[in-house]
Amino acid sequence: MLVFWKARLVLLAVPKTGSSAYETALAPHASLAVMDPPELKHAPVYRYNRFFRPMFEKVGGQMELMAVVREPVSWLGSWYRYRQRPFLDGRPVSTSGISFDEFVTAYTRGERPPFANVGSQSKFIEARPNGTAVSHLFRYENQAGIAGFLEDRLGLTLDLPRSNVSPRAELRLSPKVEEVLRRKCAADFALWESARAD
Protein backbone atom coordinates (compact mmCIF):
# COMPACT_ATOMS: atom_id res chain seq x y z
CA MET A 1 0.00 0.00 0.00
CA LEU A 2 1.32 3.41 -0.99
CA VAL A 3 0.10 6.69 0.48
CA PHE A 4 0.54 9.97 -1.41
CA TRP A 5 -0.42 12.58 1.16
CA LYS A 6 -0.24 15.73 -0.97
CA ALA A 7 -2.20 14.07 -3.78
CA ARG A 8 -4.68 12.65 -1.22
CA LEU A 9 -4.37 9.25 -2.86
CA VAL A 10 -3.87 5.73 -1.49
CA LEU A 11 -2.87 2.96 -3.89
CA LEU A 12 -4.08 -0.35 -2.49
CA ALA A 13 -1.92 -3.36 -3.33
CA VAL A 14 -4.33 -6.00 -4.64
CA PRO A 15 -2.25 -9.21 -4.85
CA LYS A 16 -1.30 -10.43 -8.34
CA THR A 17 -2.11 -7.13 -10.09
CA GLY A 18 1.39 -5.75 -10.61
CA SER A 19 1.54 -4.00 -7.25
CA SER A 20 5.23 -4.91 -6.74
CA ALA A 21 6.25 -3.05 -9.91
CA TYR A 22 4.29 0.05 -8.90
CA GLU A 23 5.73 -0.20 -5.41
CA THR A 24 9.28 -0.26 -6.80
CA ALA A 25 8.64 2.71 -9.09
CA LEU A 26 6.58 4.84 -6.70
CA ALA A 27 7.78 4.09 -3.15
CA PRO A 28 10.45 6.85 -3.32
CA HIS A 29 7.67 9.36 -4.08
CA ALA A 30 5.21 8.11 -1.45
CA SER A 31 4.64 9.74 1.92
CA LEU A 32 4.15 6.29 3.39
CA ALA A 33 5.02 2.93 1.83
CA VAL A 34 3.69 -0.07 3.73
CA MET A 35 5.86 -3.01 2.65
CA ASP A 36 5.47 -5.39 5.60
CA PRO A 37 3.82 -7.34 7.06
CA PRO A 38 1.84 -8.75 4.08
CA GLU A 39 -1.44 -8.25 5.98
CA LEU A 40 -0.82 -4.48 5.91
CA LYS A 41 1.04 -4.26 2.60
CA HIS A 42 -1.96 -5.94 0.96
CA ALA A 43 -4.53 -4.25 3.19
CA PRO A 44 -8.02 -4.62 1.68
CA VAL A 45 -10.57 -1.84 1.96
CA TYR A 46 -11.96 -3.16 5.26
CA ARG A 47 -8.49 -3.15 6.87
CA TYR A 48 -7.66 0.28 5.43
CA ASN A 49 -10.96 1.55 6.84
CA ARG A 50 -10.24 0.12 10.27
CA PHE A 51 -6.58 1.05 10.74
CA PHE A 52 -5.50 3.75 8.31
CA ARG A 53 -8.56 5.90 7.52
CA PRO A 54 -9.11 7.08 11.13
CA MET A 55 -5.44 8.07 11.44
CA PHE A 56 -5.51 10.10 8.19
CA GLU A 57 -8.81 11.78 9.04
CA LYS A 58 -7.50 12.82 12.47
CA VAL A 59 -4.81 14.89 10.76
CA GLY A 60 -7.12 16.39 8.16
CA GLY A 61 -6.78 14.00 5.25
CA GLN A 62 -9.72 12.78 3.20
CA MET A 63 -8.00 10.24 1.01
CA GLU A 64 -9.21 8.70 -2.25
CA LEU A 65 -8.56 5.01 -2.81
CA MET A 66 -7.20 3.54 -6.03
CA ALA A 67 -7.01 -0.16 -6.92
CA VAL A 68 -6.25 -2.41 -9.86
CA VAL A 69 -8.16 -5.63 -10.58
CA ARG A 70 -7.31 -8.37 -13.03
CA GLU A 71 -9.54 -10.50 -15.27
CA PRO A 72 -10.48 -13.35 -12.89
CA VAL A 73 -9.15 -16.30 -14.93
CA SER A 74 -5.87 -14.44 -15.50
CA TRP A 75 -5.73 -13.49 -11.80
CA LEU A 76 -6.19 -17.11 -10.72
CA GLY A 77 -3.64 -18.13 -13.34
CA SER A 78 -1.09 -15.80 -11.77
CA TRP A 79 -1.69 -17.35 -8.35
CA TYR A 80 -1.47 -20.84 -9.84
CA ARG A 81 1.83 -20.07 -11.58
CA TYR A 82 3.26 -18.33 -8.51
CA ARG A 83 2.53 -21.39 -6.39
CA GLN A 84 4.33 -23.63 -8.93
CA ARG A 85 7.67 -22.17 -7.84
CA PRO A 86 10.13 -24.83 -6.60
CA PHE A 87 10.62 -23.16 -3.19
CA LEU A 88 7.02 -24.13 -2.36
CA ASP A 89 7.44 -27.82 -3.28
CA GLY A 90 6.12 -30.08 -0.54
CA ARG A 91 4.17 -27.29 1.17
CA PRO A 92 0.36 -27.33 1.38
CA VAL A 93 0.15 -24.15 -0.75
CA SER A 94 2.13 -25.62 -3.66
CA THR A 95 0.33 -26.24 -6.97
CA SER A 96 3.07 -28.58 -8.18
CA GLY A 97 1.48 -31.63 -9.79
CA ILE A 98 -1.94 -29.96 -9.90
CA SER A 99 -3.56 -28.92 -13.18
CA PHE A 100 -5.06 -25.46 -13.65
CA ASP A 101 -8.51 -27.07 -13.93
CA GLU A 102 -7.96 -28.79 -10.57
CA PHE A 103 -6.75 -25.55 -9.01
CA VAL A 104 -9.78 -23.55 -10.22
CA THR A 105 -12.17 -26.35 -9.25
CA ALA A 106 -10.72 -26.31 -5.72
CA TYR A 107 -11.02 -22.50 -5.68
CA THR A 108 -14.76 -22.70 -6.42
CA ARG A 109 -15.44 -25.01 -3.48
CA GLY A 110 -16.93 -23.71 -0.24
CA GLU A 111 -13.95 -24.81 1.81
CA ARG A 112 -10.80 -24.27 -0.21
CA PRO A 113 -7.68 -26.35 0.34
CA PRO A 114 -4.55 -24.31 1.21
CA PHE A 115 -3.19 -24.33 -2.36
CA ALA A 116 -6.40 -22.69 -3.67
CA ASN A 117 -7.07 -20.37 -0.74
CA VAL A 118 -6.12 -17.07 -2.41
CA GLY A 119 -8.97 -14.74 -1.45
CA SER A 120 -11.17 -12.74 -3.79
CA GLN A 121 -10.68 -9.45 -5.60
CA SER A 122 -14.30 -8.42 -5.03
CA LYS A 123 -13.97 -9.03 -1.28
CA PHE A 124 -10.66 -7.15 -1.23
CA ILE A 125 -12.22 -3.93 -2.50
CA GLU A 126 -15.70 -4.34 -1.02
CA ALA A 127 -17.01 -0.94 0.11
CA ARG A 128 -17.67 -0.37 3.81
CA PRO A 129 -21.01 0.72 5.32
CA ASN A 130 -19.50 4.10 6.30
CA GLY A 131 -18.85 4.92 2.63
CA THR A 132 -15.15 4.02 2.46
CA ALA A 133 -14.73 2.72 -1.08
CA VAL A 134 -12.39 2.63 -4.05
CA SER A 135 -12.84 5.79 -6.14
CA HIS A 136 -10.44 4.87 -8.96
CA LEU A 137 -10.68 1.27 -10.18
CA PHE A 138 -8.60 0.14 -13.16
CA ARG A 139 -8.26 -3.10 -15.08
CA TYR A 140 -4.78 -4.62 -14.80
CA GLU A 141 -4.85 -4.99 -18.57
CA ASN A 142 -5.12 -1.18 -18.90
CA GLN A 143 -1.50 -0.40 -17.97
CA ALA A 144 -1.43 2.78 -20.06
CA GLY A 145 -4.51 4.11 -18.25
CA ILE A 146 -3.09 3.25 -14.82
CA ALA A 147 0.25 4.91 -15.59
CA GLY A 148 -1.42 7.95 -17.14
CA PHE A 149 -3.67 8.47 -14.13
CA LEU A 150 -0.79 8.14 -11.65
CA GLU A 151 1.49 10.42 -13.67
CA ASP A 152 -1.20 13.12 -13.85
CA ARG A 153 -2.22 12.80 -10.21
CA LEU A 154 1.30 12.62 -8.81
CA GLY A 155 3.06 14.92 -11.30
CA LEU A 156 5.79 12.49 -12.30
CA THR A 157 6.90 10.16 -15.08
CA LEU A 158 6.68 6.43 -14.42
CA ASP A 159 9.31 3.87 -15.38
CA LEU A 160 7.85 0.50 -14.44
CA PRO A 161 10.16 -2.48 -13.89
CA ARG A 162 9.01 -6.07 -14.32
CA SER A 163 8.73 -7.40 -10.81
CA ASN A 164 7.60 -10.59 -9.03
CA VAL A 165 6.86 -12.32 -12.36
CA SER A 166 5.46 -15.85 -12.06
CA PRO A 167 6.83 -18.75 -14.15
CA ARG A 168 5.02 -19.70 -17.37
CA ALA A 169 2.47 -22.53 -17.24
CA GLU A 170 -0.47 -23.91 -19.23
CA LEU A 171 -3.55 -21.92 -18.26
CA ARG A 172 -6.36 -23.32 -20.39
CA LEU A 173 -9.60 -24.05 -18.53
CA SER A 174 -12.08 -26.64 -19.68
CA PRO A 175 -15.46 -25.06 -20.60
CA LYS A 176 -17.21 -26.84 -17.71
CA VAL A 177 -14.77 -25.56 -15.08
CA GLU A 178 -14.90 -22.03 -16.51
CA GLU A 179 -18.70 -22.11 -16.43
CA VAL A 180 -18.67 -23.05 -12.74
CA LEU A 181 -16.10 -20.33 -12.00
CA ARG A 182 -18.16 -17.67 -13.79
CA ARG A 183 -21.28 -18.71 -11.90
CA LYS A 184 -19.76 -19.02 -8.43
CA CYS A 185 -17.48 -15.98 -8.74
CA ALA A 186 -19.84 -13.71 -10.67
CA ALA A 187 -19.00 -10.77 -8.37
CA ASP A 188 -15.34 -10.90 -9.43
CA PHE A 189 -16.22 -10.91 -13.12
CA ALA A 190 -18.70 -8.04 -12.62
CA LEU A 191 -16.06 -6.07 -10.71
CA TRP A 192 -13.52 -6.46 -13.52
CA GLU A 193 -16.14 -5.45 -16.10
CA SER A 194 -16.87 -2.28 -14.09
CA ALA A 195 -13.20 -1.19 -13.90
CA ARG A 196 -11.70 1.38 -16.24
CA ALA A 197 -10.56 -0.24 -19.48
CA ASP A 198 -9.13 2.91 -21.14
* Segment-wise mean pLDDT, segments of 10 residues, the chain, 198 residues: 96 94 93 92 96 93 94 96 94 95 96 96 97 97 95 91 61 94 97 93
Residue 179: partners with Cβ closer than 8 Å, 6 or more residues away:
none
Instruction: From residue 143, give the alpha-carbon distance in Å to each of 23, 51, 115, 189.
Output: 14, 29, 29, 19
pLDDT at 159: 83
Please tell us whether the domain made up of 2-194 is placed in CATH 1.10.10. Answer: no
Name the pTM for this structure: 0.92
| CA distance linking residue 7 with residue 145, whole number of Å | 18
Going 159 to 137 to 55 to 40, the CA torsion angle's sign is: negative
Q: What are the structural domain ranges in the chain?
A: 2-194
